[in-house]
Amino acid sequence: MPVLRRAIVGLTMLAGFGLSATVAVADDTRPNYSDLPSFSFWRGLYGGVNVGHADAKGDNGVVGGVQLGYNWQSNKIVYGVEGDISFSGEHSIDWLASARGRLGYLIQPRVLVYGTAGVGLVSGGGTDAGFVWGLGVEVKITPTMSARL
């Protein structure tokens, strides 16, 4: 059971925080680059894809999936909720998912550092749940697209 719990945490972090590109639509507005100093284009509904690598029980493979979330913003503080589901190329893991809260700080108008925590699920011959957490950096590439690690 402890090995499976570590696998849940590791795989969920990799899937959720592997290199991902996120497309954001913030309250039906599309800010232009002149809005960058306002720090205001981090709020709203977003969705994206993620890809990562997993190594559990001596088996390894690619993990990839989708995520959906919503952010709110108060000055340089960004907070929200996010869920994801990913599928695995490993033989021992079929899929994994998580639901998490997210809290971040804008160190620059385009750069968000954040922490996240919540519950993760993993399925592979049965389904198990556990606590997941992580740290990340997200960078706006355009006003409606970002990349995170």
CATH code, domain carrying 134: 2.40.160
What is the sign of the dihedral through the CA atoms of 32, 33, 39 and 45? positive
pLDDT (0 to 100) of residue 24: 44
The tally of domains found in the chain comes to 1
With cut-offs at 50, 70 and 90, classify the pLDDT of residue 101. Answer: very high
Residue 118 three-state SS: strand
Predicted model pTM: 0.70
Instruction: Please state the rounded mean pLDDT for residues 17-33.
Output: 46
87: alpha, beta or left? (left if phi > 0; alpha if psi -120 to 50) = beta
Report the C-alpha gap between 57 and 75 in whole angstroms.
44
Q: Which of 69, 79, 56, 73 is nearest to 125 (CA)?
A: 56
Residues of the domain holding 109: 2-148
pLDDT digits (tens, 9 = 90+) for 118-145: 999 999 888 999 999 999 999 999 888 9
Instruction: Please state the rounded mean pLDDT for residues 110-119.
Output: 97
